[in-house]
């Protein structure tokens, strides 16, 4: 015979289990790590342990998780940049482009980390520093877009590491080309003020 207090405790435990996220019950899966609330090092570790496809499946489970991952990468945090490197070969074209734009945003916060990533074979310099990496990510007004490009150029020019000078020159050249294209296409690409 079960005592009333034990019966109440078992009922409470049953309710608690009923409200746990489905992925946690008996599956051995961890909760979604792709949120920007998590740190990039934790996501990178999960990818190392469980593989990029498994973790990416979680990231694509909802738009908020994928956006969280992109915001994390765009923050320039070295852990999140490591995540970008780990997942780059597993993405479709649209997601790869989103990732390249996030890495481009990281130029403003961690240019050394981004240039290291490029040196290690992430994407192409033009995809991150140039037109193909930013055109859809530019602010809608020319002046704001110009400030973004100038800020990226200034941060990249500030990188002093000797082993990154070739990538730095390449990135600055792509940013210069981007700015020239922006001026040339000002009427078509930007909303007038």
**Tens-place pLDDT, residues 141-156:** 899 999 999 999 999 9
Characterize 158-167 residue by residue with b for buried, 16 or more Cβ atoms within 10 angstroms of its Cβ, and e for exposed.
ebeeeebeeb
Whole-number pLDDT of residue 90: 93
Q: At what angle do helices 63-74 and 40-50 cross, to 10 degrees?
A: 120
Characterize 113-129 residue by residue with b for buried, 16 or more Cβ atoms within 10 angstroms of its Cβ, and e for exposed.
bbbbbbeeebbebbbbb
Kindly state whether residue 60 falls inside one of the protein's structural domains: yes
Say how many domains are in the chain.
Answer: 2
Kindly state whether residue 1 falls inside one of the protein's structural domains: no
Structure tokens at 38: 């998590």
Kindly state whether residue 24 falls inside one of the protein's structural domains: no
What band does 64 get if pLDDT is binned at 50, 70 and 90?
Answer: confident
Kindly state whether residue 29 falls inside one of the protein's structural domains: no
Q: CA 123, CA 120: separation in Å to the nearest integer?
A: 9
What band does 123 get if pLDDT is binned at 50, 70 and 90?
Answer: confident
Kindly state whether residue 16 falls inside one of the protein's structural domains: no
Structure tokens at 82: 């490591």
Kindly state whether residue 132 falls inside one of the protein's structural domains: yes
Whole-number pLDDT of residue 62: 75
| Last residue in a domain, options 106, 139, 170 | 106
- Give pTM, 2 decimals: 0.79
Q: Which long-range contacts (CB under 8 A, 24 or more apart) does 186-192 make?
A: 186/142, 189/135, 189/138, 189/142, 190/138, 190/140, 190/141, 190/142, 190/145, 191/140, 191/141
Find the mean pLDDT for residues 125-151. Answer: 84
Whole-number pLDDT of residue 13: 33
Q: Is a pLDDT exceeding 50 seen at residue 5?
A: no
Please give the residue range of the domain that contains residue 127: 110-193
Structure tokens at 66: 């994928």
**Tens-place pLDDT, residues 82-102:** 999 999 999 999 899 999 999
Structure tokens at 33: 């790590």
Whole-number pLDDT of residue 3: 44
Q: Is a pLDDT exceeding 90 seen at residue 19?
A: no
């Amino acid at each position: 015979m079960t005592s009333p207090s034990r019966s109440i405790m078992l009922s409470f435990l049953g309710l608690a289990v009923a409200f746990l996220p489905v992925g946690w019950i008996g599956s051995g899966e961890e909760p979604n790590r792709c949120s920007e609330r998590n740190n990039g090092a934790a996501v990178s570790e999960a990818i190392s342990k469980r593989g990029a496809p498994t973790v990416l499946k979680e990231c694509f489970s909802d738009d908020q998780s994928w956006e969280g991952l992109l915001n994390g990468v765009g923050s320039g945090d070295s852990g999140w940049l490591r995540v970008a490197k780990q997942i780059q070969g597993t993405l479709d074209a649209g997601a790869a482009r989103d990732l390249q734009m996030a890495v481009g945003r990281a130029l403003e916060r961690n240019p050394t980390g981004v240039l290291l990533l490029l040196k290690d074979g992430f994407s192409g310099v033009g995809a991150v520093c140039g037109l193909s990496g930013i055109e859809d990510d530019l602010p809608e007004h020319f002046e704001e877009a110009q400030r973004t490009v100038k800020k990226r150029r200034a941060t990249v020019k500030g990188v002093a590491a000797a082993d990154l000078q070739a990538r730095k020159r390449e990135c600055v050249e792509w940013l210069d080309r981007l700015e020239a294209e922006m001026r040339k296409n000002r009427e078509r690409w930007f909303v007038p003020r």
